[in-house]
């Protein structure tokens, strides 16, 4: 091959390479241009979208401004529902808020918490102030001492209390007064009859076990254990009560025990291990025997059967 031939081949190869380079550059530039256009289009569409949204918001604001600032609540004649600007913008429609409706919702939430706590419905009205201390036929103890013990639990100066005595003397009233006040202060409260507790634990043995039951009654800021010593303890009764009261002792939380039996009977029923846990947190106790207030007006059930 001559030198000329070689030069021609090299020149042709060089030209091909340069042509390919140029083609690639053109391709790149076209792609870049396409990207620029796409970005521009996206930007335009976003800005159009924002403009539309702004226009819509402005129109909606104008619409809101034209509405009456308050209207009478449909559910509560006489109660003014006020136009809530922020809530309206969020919902995309006019939102009127009635304070009576809001109060109803709060009352419903409280009712739900009261029911969930287990506080019996017949004592949910109880306060320490509306406990009648002028009871007739006082045979043993004093009604005022019940109030004093309730106050000590309320104030936190005592950790545990046993209120014992004949039926209808107001043990549940005192316990409920403390429990409702605690619940209204936002604390978890639990109230359970011993027989119900034992049944729940027994049922749990064939389900998920008793841990969640124990947790509930240990975690409550105030626990009321009702019907202490009403029936003989089941085989695992002492273990169940000890687990809960030991957990509460460690957490430093308060427990009120209610019983229709005498204090010596309650003492024997609970046993040494449980008494030890109650005593280490100071346990106030009182036995009362005076006329029943059940069905009286003070118990909000004036219609005697």
Residue ranges in contact with Zn ion by CB under 5 A: 73, 75-76, 98, 100-101
Closest distance between Zn ion and the C-beta of residue 80, in Å?
9
Q: Are 192 and 201 in contact (CB under 8 A)?
A: no
How far is Cα 161 from Cα 170, in angstroms, rounded to an integer?
Answer: 14
Closest distance between Zn ion and the C-beta of residue 117, in Å?
27
First-to-final CA distance of the chain: 130
* Torsion of the alpha carbons at 95, 101, 106 and 111, rounded to the nearest 10: -140
Which CB, 73 or 244, lies closer to Zn ion? 73
Please name which of 147, 172, 151, 286 lies closest in space to residue 227, comparing C-alpha atoms. Answer: 172
Which CB, 64 or 101, lies closer to Zn ion? 101
3-state secondary structure of 138: coil
Which CB, 55 or 91, lies closer to Zn ion? 91
Closest distance between Zn ion and the C-beta of residue 218, in Å?
40
Closest distance between Zn ion and the C-beta of residue 103, in Å?
9
Which CB, 16 or 74, lies closer to Zn ion? 74
* Torsion of the alpha carbons at 98, 104, 106 and 111, rounded to the nearest 10: -170
Closest distance between Zn ion and the C-beta of residue 81, in Å?
6
Tokens read off for 91: 């919902």
Closest distance between Zn ion and the C-beta of residue 99, in Å?
8
Q: Going by C-beta distance under 8 Å and a sequence separation of 6 or more, which residues neighbour residue 43?
A: none
Which CB, 39 or 91, lies closer to Zn ion? 91
- Write the CA distances from 184 to 109, 112, 216, integer angstroms: 11, 12, 18
Which CB, 68 or 136, lies closer to Zn ion? 68
């Amino acid at each position: 091959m001559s030198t000329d031939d070689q030069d021609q081949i090299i020149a042709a190869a060089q030209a091909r390479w340069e042509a390919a380079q140029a083609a690639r550059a053109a391709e790149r530039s076209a792609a870049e241009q396409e990207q620029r256009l796409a970005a521009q289009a996206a930007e335009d569409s976003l800005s159009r979208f924002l403009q539309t949204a702004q226009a819509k918001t402005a129109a909606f604001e104008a619409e809101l401004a034209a509405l009456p600032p308050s209207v009478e609540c449909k559910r509560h004649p006489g109660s003014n529902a006020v136009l809530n600007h922020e809530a309206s913008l969020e919902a995309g429609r006019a939102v009127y808020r009635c304070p009576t409706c809001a109060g109803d919702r709060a009352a419903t939430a409280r009712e739900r918490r009261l029911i969930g706590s287990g506080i019996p419905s017949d004592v949910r009205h109880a306060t320490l102030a509306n406990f009648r201390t002028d009871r007739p036929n006082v045979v043993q103890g004093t009604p005022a001492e019940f109030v004093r013990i309730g106050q000590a639990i309320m104030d936190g100066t005592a950790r545990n209390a046993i209120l014992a005595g004949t039926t209808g003397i107001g043990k549940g009233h005192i316990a409920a007064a403390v429990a409702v006040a605690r619940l209204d202060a936002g604390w978890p409260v639990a109230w359970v009859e011993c027989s119900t507790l034992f049944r729940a634990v027994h049922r749990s043995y064939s389900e998920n076990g008793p841990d969640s039951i124990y947790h509930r009654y240990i975690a409550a800021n105030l626990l009321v254990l009702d019907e202490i010593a009403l029936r003989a303890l089941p085989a695992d009764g002492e273990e169940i009560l000890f687990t809960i009261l030991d957990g509460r002792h460690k957490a430093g939380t308060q427990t009120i025990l209610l019983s229709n039996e005498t204090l010596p009977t309650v003492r024997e029923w609970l046993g040494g291990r449980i008494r030890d846990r109650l005593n280490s947190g100071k346990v106030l106790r009182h036995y009362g025997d005076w006329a029943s207030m059940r069905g009286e007006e003070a118990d909000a059930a004036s219609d005697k059967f």
